Amino acid sequence: YNHRVVDSISSSTASTSSSSPTRGTPIRKSLQCAVCGDVALGKHYGVNACNGCKGFFRRSIWKNRTYACRHGGKCLVAKEQRNACRSCRLTRCLDVGMNPRAVQGDTVEDPEWDEEAMPETLSISTQTDALKVKKKSHTSLFTLDIKKEQIIDNLRAIYARTDPEEFWKLTYPGTYDFRYAFHNTKVVSPRTPLTPTAERIATLNDVVADFRRAFVLFVDILKSIDQLRDVQEDDKMKIAKSRFAAFYWWLCSTWSAKAGCNGVCYSNGSYHPASISDMPKSEGKHGVRIDYSGVSQKSLENLVEPLRRMELSDEERIVGAVMVILADPVPNVSTKTEKILAEARDFYLELLGYCIKLPEEQQGIRVSTMVLLLASIMELVHLTTDNIQLSDVLHVIDLGDWSQELRDHRYRRQF
Amino acid sequence: YNHRVVDSISSSTASTSSSSPTRGTPIRKSLQCAVCGDVALGKHYGVNACNGCKGFFRRSIWKNRTYACRHGGKCLVAKEQRNACRSCRLTRCLDVGMNPRAVQGDTVEDPEWDEEAMPETLSISTQTDALKVKKKSHTSLFTLDIKKEQIIDNLRAIYARTDPEEFWKLTYPGTYDFRYAFHNTKVVSPRTPLTPTAERIATLNDVVADFRRAFVLFVDILKSIDQLRDVQEDDKMKIAKSRFAAFYWWLCSTWSAKAGCNGVCYSNGSYHPASISDMPKSEGKHGVRIDYSGVSQKSLENLVEPLRRMELSDEERIVGAVMVILADPVPNVSTKTEKILAEARDFYLELLGYCIKLPEEQQGIRVSTMVLLLASIMELVHLTTDNIQLSDVLHVIDLGDWSQELRDHRYRRQF
DNA sequence: AATCGTCCAGAGTACACTGAA
DNA sequence: ATTCAGTGTACTCTGGACGAT
Ligand SMILES: [Zn+2]
Ligand SMILES: [Zn+2]
Ligand SMILES: [Zn+2]
Ligand SMILES: [Zn+2]
């Protein structure tokens, strides 16, 4: 998606007829860096730029640098002294049109996890030039905005992702253990488009399909959370097992709030009306029994109603979903994992603030309001967990384990 | 009515199918890349794929790349982050069915100005995407030697290759089918350093770990053999299954000879003393039962003793290992595969001669001597195959199949 | 029309080097 | 003196455009 088409000017441009065409062939009308005047080898981030300015701009964007000029911002930026004032150099980069969004985030992520006070030689070396980025540094305030945008874009894309149409009807009969399902989500559900439009009453099949589709979405998101990549496998499974239900209810309720339907809205365009008595109540052919009456109906309302009033933006909904996943501590994981989770939690909390487009002093309130809703979600989770035959719905075995962990989780919370 | 509000998330991927006549004919337009989900323009190498994945796959196959994932091979491969992990991207390419054989070998002929005579024309000029080199046309001594050096270097690098240290202790419980294990060797063993130094007595765990590590090395080598690239997948599996045991014994015996220990030397610094009665004999907790007494002990000596006297160089050991893999005909493969194998055999035989740094007239003898040892190896293979619970050792299921083929192989040889 | 390969601008990465702390 | 983030050259890799079947 890079490789901006942009040019359109390219050819010709030269116009500045090469004053002195050096001898025959070489041509390559020597370009000039729009920033410093040095020789440019081509376009970089949208403008002709020399290697130095190219690298300088990329590094500045990666870390979210903000420099200050000591001379009133009037420094000349030319080849010989381009390194004299970073502020003016960066300003000029932007002025001549360098596009920060053209900087990608590619490549291997940082190792990140050393930390331990080990001055030890043994510097593993490796690692790319750049990406230390985070590290102990001032994590809080100045994490890169570009990086944030990328993460949000990425999440957005995950929601939009669909499998090729010919797979939409495909089902994989049989049961699989959780770990297998986690790594081969296609056995649970294909990635059909997510269209929570509440156009028709849900059938039991809709509910089941939605639940399974949500699981795939959940796994996709979980896998995209950078910080969790290095969590050990079994802890990752524990996280997945213990957070899916919460995630699912977040999806349902935010979609319901958005669609404005009176009931539970599903991803495939159907919805489950509230307070209608003809809803399928028990013993579906898939064994789904969701008790929406009584307390849990009330709980759902407790969630949907505030959400409706908040009118979440898409970004908030998306990042909020990640927060739901990370919000609660996961029982029985290693301390290292706990630490990673806490870090991720902080990061996404900040990201959540970032995507609230409000004056800074109001951001905190809105974030808090959203986080408060997590309590409602957890209540829903606990109320419904036992009533949903997860194993039947997802066709995932190993549920003895899974539901056990869900249960552990609940009990722990109750005390 | 009611245009689908579609995705709570707009933008990106949207087909933007402007016109789109109301015709009843269902879309059939924007396809999706089976690898990353980006828009696909059509099939490439057998599956719908975007330009990026198409190019990536072709380049990887051409250069015979083998990547290593730094996150356990579970990276999500989606458009936005497909460049984050090459290993997982390539694995996914293969998983969704991209066919390496569909990558056409090379450009049409390549004139290959034979009589350059000038070693240093230095006309690097266009650095085309495709590295030429290749070609195996007779004559052209210089280029061919360079190619040979490259291959040897490459093999050497494979032996030296290790995964990041944090993976050395990682294990993937569970069982996998052979093909999966072949393409995802990390489930069998991480790439720990190969240090056949015979420093301590081997425990059963050492034996198991070594066996598994050797399998990974074996697969790495197998994948690096140019000629086998065009072999169809199932034949490749047959080759792998039928040659591993021989390869393993070659490793053991050459290392044992090199380390000078009296017994079997393993890759992790341990060794299994010969003619000591306290060796673990049966029913290890991993179910490994290797009978080193009697005939097979004798056979091992038949192999190690000559090897010791030959004092193989590292190059000879390394190329010899490839020869071991290619030496015997593999049962039940297509005639095309047989032909390819024969070609490869010839090529590596020549290569073996090349790395023997002796007067040309003595090369032939040394090569022959080495090849003769293959007979001893095959004997070892047949004597021990039935005594090793491969499935338990490698944690690879599908062994009914595997061991069956090993057996077929043996029977065929006996006649 | 479909699917190969090639080209090459412009992304990224490795590493020797610079210079301030 | 040493460290170490930043700089810039010299590469590799990516993927959209396009040519060849
Ligand atoms: Zn410049
Ligand atoms: Zn300035
Ligand atoms: Zn793709
Ligand atoms: Zn990976």
CA of B151 to C1' of D21 (A): 33
Nearest chain B Cα to A149, which residue? B80
Report yes or no: B62 and B72 within 8 Å, Cβ to Cβ: no
Checking if the pLDDT of A49 tops 90, the result is yes
Instruction: Tell me which CATH code domain A42-102 carries.
Output: 3.30.50.10
Estimate the crossing angle of helix B360-385 against helix B314-327, to 10 degrees: 60
For residue A315, the SS3 value is helix
Closest residue (CA to C1') to nucleotide C6 in the complex: B129
Residues of B in contact with A183 (CB under 8 A): 74
What pLDDT is attached to residue B372? 65
- pLDDT tens readout for residues B108-144: 333 333 333 333 333 332 333 333 333 322 223 334 5
pLDDT-derived band at B50 (thresholds 50, 70, 90) equals: very high
What φ, ψ does residue B313 adopt, rounded to 5°? -80, 170
**Taking CB atoms and an 8 Å limit, are A158 and B84 in contact across chains?**
no
Choose from A50-54, A324-328, B185-189, B361-365 the range with maximum mean pLDDT.
A50-54
pLDDT-derived band at A221 (thresholds 50, 70, 90) equals: very high
Residues of A in contact with B10 (CB under 8 A): 314
Q: Where are the domains of chain B?
A: 42-102, 138-412
What pLDDT is attached to residue A198? 82
Residues of B in contact with A184 (CB under 8 A): none
What pLDDT is attached to residue B299? 60
Tell me the C-alpha distance between A82 and A90, whole Å: 10
Q: What is the largest CA-CA distance in chain A?
A: 89
Q: Is the dihedral of CA A5, A11, A15, A18 positive or negative?
A: positive
Average pLDDT over chain B reads 68
Choose from A139-143, A398-402, B158-162, B298-302 the range with maximum mean pLDDT.
B158-162
Cβ of B54 near strand C (distance < 7 A)? yes
Tell me the C-alpha distance between B32 and B356, whole Å: 52
Q: Return the number of other C-beta atoms located less than 10 Å from residue B339's C-beta.
A: 12
More confident: A346 or B52: B52
Report yes or no: B242 and B235 within 8 Å, Cβ to Cβ: no
Q: Which ligand is nearest to the CA of A72?
A: 2
Instruction: Tell me which CATH code domain A138-412 carries.
Output: 1.10.565.10
Residue numbers in B 123-182, CB below 7 Å of strand D = 127, 129
Q: Which of A158, A177, A237 to mutate to test the interface with B (most CBs of B within 10 A)?
A: A158
Q: What is the ipTM of this complex?
A: 0.61
What are A210's two structure tokens? 């939605």
- The backbone region for B368, taken as left when phi is positive above 0, alpha when psi lies in -120 to 50, beta otherwise, is alpha
Q: Which of A58-67, A80-89, B94-103, B138-147 has the lowest average pLDDT?
A: B138-147
CA of B225 to C1' of D2 (A): 47
CA distance to partner chain B, nearest, from residue A230 (Å):
6
Residue B178's contacts (CB-CB under 8 Å, 6 or more residues apart) are B237, B240, B241, B396, B397, B398, B399, B401, B402
CA distance to partner chain B, nearest, from residue A290 (Å):
26
Same fold, B42-102 and B138-412: no
- pLDDT tens readout for residues B318-371: 999 998 888 766 767 788 888 888 788 778 887 888 887 777 666 666 777 777
Whether chain A has a CB inside 8 Å of the CB on B174: the answer is yes
- pLDDT tens readout for residues B52-72: 999 999 988 888 788 888 777
| Strand C contact nucleotides, protein CB < 7 Å | 2-16
Q: Which of A224-233, A290-299, B184-193 has the lowest average pLDDT?
A: A290-299
What φ, ψ does residue B47 adopt, rounded to 5°? -135, 160
**Taking CB atoms and an 8 Å limit, are B9 and A156 in contact across chains?**
yes
**Taking CB atoms and an 8 Å limit, are B8 and A164 in contact across chains?**
no
Q: Which of B3, B8, B95, B169 to mutate to test the interface with A (most CBs of A within 10 A)?
A: B8
**Taking CB atoms and an 8 Å limit, are A164 and B48 in contact across chains?**
yes
Cβ of A124 near strand C (distance < 7 A)? no
Kindly state the average pLDDT of the residues A353-361.
77
- pLDDT tens readout for residues A265-291: 888 888 877 654 444 444 333 334 444
